[in-house]
Structure 1
Amino acid sequence: MVQISKPQSARTSRESAAPSPAPTSADVARLAGVSRATVSYVLNNTSAVRISEPTRRRVHEAAKELGYVPHAAARSLRAGHTRIVLMPSPSVPAGPLYNAFFNDLQWALSRLDYTVVQYGSVSLRGDDAARAWAELRPVAVLTPPDLGAEGVEVLRRSGARAVITLGPERAEGAHALLMDHREVGRSAGAHLVERGRRRIGVVLPTEHGLDHFARPRLDGVRDAVLGTGAEVFELPLTYDEESAGQLVPEIVELGLDAVFAYNDEYAMLLMRALQDAGVGIPEETAVVGADDLMLGRLLRPRLSTVRIELPSGQELAALVDRLVRAPGAVTESHDMLRARVVARESS
């Protein structure tokens, strides 16, 4: 029997290609000259134990040099739950206001040692989505209000200490952060009626998914004009110049003296089309948007808008943390959305 030995260079190449063992907290402790407990306290941002700043810096530098990061799964096993806060990805395009709000919230939660995960489940809704989310074992979930009582219970049984809905209604068994967009429409409608406008068009985007916000805003305008003699007209609009141009003759034919657009972007699009057609703003038709974008202030005339005020991400993160720490707390409702008109030249 003949044995064939591989060349030394081949063995060396294979051995060098073998992955190095992952660094451990013990390795970090040796390099930093501290105990493993101290490494854990520092890298897990434990506030219950006082660690000097030089020691913290030494531990972080050692961890960086070794390429060590804490093992989230192992930490979760020790604690009995994860530190994941699950926020399902929005099913509709979010505007600048909500992007800023959720970015602020994620930053604030990370400061409290939570990991924010956005989970996309396009084909799943309500209780079916809850079962998919439960697989991640989140400690808290922020969800649309279409979650049913069964879905809330599934999440709680999987270890979620806080289930929080975001929307105009609440789900049974969950804490509710109410965001009623009728208030946006009511503010705009009341402003226009006060300015003497009596034939008010409301722009409804034709883009998929925006009805969730647009329809409540339309209802809010209708609430505001009750008993005033004013009339409200629906104006479907696709977000492009051609659609805006085609809408202008309808506005003129209906004799509309005011338009409340879904948001500032739609308002700016329509304002340009009205001005191109020679319609005076606000002399013939007043225009109001929503979200108070900087671009609206640069238009001429400057765009009147509804400023939507939401709590800071820090406030909401503190609420999530409180609910996680007290999972047996009675479910509550919190009104999140406030709206007020910022009147400028366009109305």
Structure 2
Amino acid sequence: MPDSTNPPNPPTPPNPPTSADVARLAGVSRATVSYVLNNAEAVRISEPTRRKVRAAAEELGYVPHAAARSLRAGHTRIVLLPTSHVPAGPLYSTFLNELQWALRRLDYTVVQYGSLGLTGDEAVRAWAELRPVAVISLGETALSPHNVDTLKRAGARAVLTLGPERVAGAHALVMDQAEVGALAAAHLAGRGRRRIGVVVPEEPGLDLFSGPRLAGARTVPEVEVTPLALAYTEESAAALAARWGELGLDGVFAYNDEYAVLLMRALLDAGVRVPEDVAVMGADDLLIGRLVRPRLSSVRIEMPSGEWLAGLVDRAVRVPSAMAERYDLTGAAAVPREST
């Protein structure tokens, strides 16, 4: 009968396979294994040999040791995307997905890091612990020149920031959200609308976009702008539509197409005619805006491809001095349809 007071020792886990094991099974040198599995482009290796090495690694379950690889290279292959929320809707999400796929094809490891609740200094210290080779700050954490220096001292070869201003030591990727708001307001003004509501989403993480879009709308002198808080729920839209008469607005820029469709449906349900009583404008020019009736006027935003930005990150890592200080990422144009 086993002694319950002295349970048997758990079995010792087997040692993980090494590159030497892969080399023996494939009949090649360890250096060849390293070249193949690290996608080294400077060394010419035949395709049959590459297939043989990969097959041996697959059979043994061998995975290169990231820490050892980083020590040899002098840096990691981590590109850090600090983000606390999923921002801005389908257009932006598609862009981020393309960026991550393109970086992976360039042999980078993309790490999304949730920094919710951390201050700038706290967040940067947490990012630096991962020793990323590059950081793409999406703007949720305001960086200072000291923060950029901290990241570079920890091994980051490139720090790219998304926002209207460049931080010293970093490269600025400028997305002019104010232009989006100005174009929407100018389009509504051109339709004779003078008292315009601008939707400001209540969802966290969207103020990076909604704040500049509101500010841009306010630059159009012909219109009077009223901010409108709106959560992305049918209940919130219905409550806003129910008091539309007392607001006295004849146009609305609803932040983006998703919020525009949500609000337009609530307005129509409340008996507010679109566009006769109120003209409705969205942004991002999403498919959903062309499917609803009346078809939604929008601001089309020309985003760069994720592949382009991945190439920019790669160049910044390899030759930081060759980078420009500022890159303008977007252009925009109003697209008139039936809702205005």
Other-structure match for 2:102: 108
Match of 2:111 in 1: 117
Q: Does 1:217 align with 2:217?
A: no
Quote the offset at 1:206 in angstroms: 2.3
Partner of 1:295: 288
Q: Which amino acid aligns with 2:258?
A: E
How far did 1:168 drift?
Answer: 2.3
CA contact 2:196–2:252 (8 Å) conserved in 1: yes
Look up the equivalent residue of 1:48 and give its one-letter code: A
- Give, in whole Å, the separation in 2 of the partners of 1:197 and 1:262: 17
Rounded Cα–Cα distance in structure 2 between residues aligned with 1:330 and 1:237: 40
Report if aligned partners of 2:84, 2:116 keep a CA contact under 8 Å in 1: no
Runs of at least 5 residues in structure 2 that lack an aligned partner in the other structure: 3-7
For 1:10, the equivalent position in structure 2 comes to none
Kindly indicate whether residue 332 of structure 2 is the aligned counterpart of residue 345 of structure 1: no
Question: How far has the Cα of 1:97 moved from its partner?
Answer: 1.6
Q: Pick from 155, 159, 162: which aligns with 2:155?
A: 159
| 2:284–2:299 CA contact under 8 A, matched in 1 | yes
* SS of residue in 2 equivalent to 1:290: coil
CA contact (8 A) 1:197 1:258 kept: yes
Provide the TM-score with structure 2 as the length reference.
0.91
Does the CA contact (< 8 Å) of 1:174 and 1:331 recur in 2? no
Q: Which one-letter code corresponds to 1:43 in the other structure?
A: L
18, 26, 47: which is aligned to 1:24? 18
1:125 and 1:338, CA in 2 relative to 1: closer, same or farther beyond 3 A? farther
Local SS of the residue matching 2:320: coil
* Counterpart contact for 1:92–1:208, Cα < 8 Å: no
- Cα RMSD after superposing both structures: 2.0
The aligned amino acid for 1:195 is: R
Shift of 1:262: 1.2
Q: Distance in 2 between matches of 1:244 and 1:133?
A: 38
Question: Which of 170, 189, 211 in structure 1 is aligned with 2:166?
Answer: 170
Q: Output the CA distance in 2 between the equivalents of 1:84 and 1:203.
A: 37
Look up the equivalent residue of 2:174 and give its one-letter code: L
Higher alpha-carbon deviation: 145-154 or 232-241: 232-241
Give distance in 2, aligned partners of 1:179 and 1:239. 24
Residue pairs, 1:66-215, within 5 angstroms: 66-91=60-85, 93-143=87-137, 144=139, 146-215=142-211
Task: Kindly state the Cα deviation for residue 258 of structure 1 after the two structures are TM-superposed.
Answer: 1.2
CA distance in 2, matches of 1:93, 1:164: 18
Counterpart residue type for residue 181 of structure 1: Q
Judge conservation of contact 1:128–1:151 (CA < 8 Å) in 2: no
Instruction: Verify the 8 A CA contact 2:84 2:113 in the aligned structure 1.
Output: no
Q: What are the Cα deviations for residues 256-291 of structure 1, in whole angstroms up to 9, with x where unaligned? A: 221110111211111111111222211221111112
Could you list the runs of 5+ residues in structure 1 that have no partner in the other structure?
1-5, 7-12
Deviations 1:57-80, CA, capped at 9 Å, x for gaps: 111111101101111110111111
Equivalent position of 1:246 in the other structure: 239
Match for residue 299 of structure 2 among 301, 306, 323 = 306
Distance 2:196 2:174 in 1: 27
SS at match of 2:100: helix
How many Å apart are 1:343 and its aligned residue? 1.9
What's the CA shift for 1:212? 2.6
Mean Cα displacement is larger for which, 195-204 or 323-332? 323-332
Give the Å deviation of 1:245. 2.1
Contact 2:157-2:317 at 8 Å conserved across structures: yes
Aligned to 2:41: 47
Q: Structure 2 CA distance, aligned partners of 1:21 and 1:209?
A: 45
Map 1:252-291; keep pairs closer than 5 Å.
252-291=245-284
> Which of 308, 318, 324 lines up with 2:317 in the alignment?
324
Supply the distance in 2 between the matched residues of 1:167 and 1:147 (Cα, whole angstroms): 11
SS in 1 for 2:334: strand
